[in-house]
Amino acid sequence: MTTVTSVSVRAVYRRTSAIPARVALLEILGQTSSDAALPLLRESLRGNTPELARSAVLALTEWSTPAPLGDLYAMAQSAPTPALSVLALRGYLKLL
């Protein structure tokens, strides 16, 4: 059985430009809760692609440690849409 690591998922993410594939990969990164995945998720939060920002918020919401609390709080305050602000706030509260 092959173990999926944060490193391999990040490598695939960088090689693909298809938004649906990137969305799925961000979801997987959220399940790993790997600190090495945080920079890529943070980059997706700040990017210009709403689907990736939403996926990054959802991935951070699934984190097993409080590491992304600041990121979710910042997104809740400055998200480009009210829906994304609410989603980030819900994720923040879930991790508390």
Distance linking the first and last C-alpha atoms of the chain: 34
Pairwise CA distance, residues 43 & 83, whole Å: 19
Residues 56, 23: contact at Cβ < 8 Å? Answer: no
Q: CB-based burial of residue 80 (10 Å sphere; 0-12 exposed, 13-18 middle, 19+ buried)?
A: exposed
The separation between CA 17 and the C-alpha centre of its own chain, rounded to angstroms, equals: 16
- pLDDT digits over 54-73, tens only? 999 999 999 999 999 999 99
- pLDDT digits over 15-50, tens only? 999 999 999 999 999 999 999 999 999 999 999 999
- pTM surpassing 0.85? yes
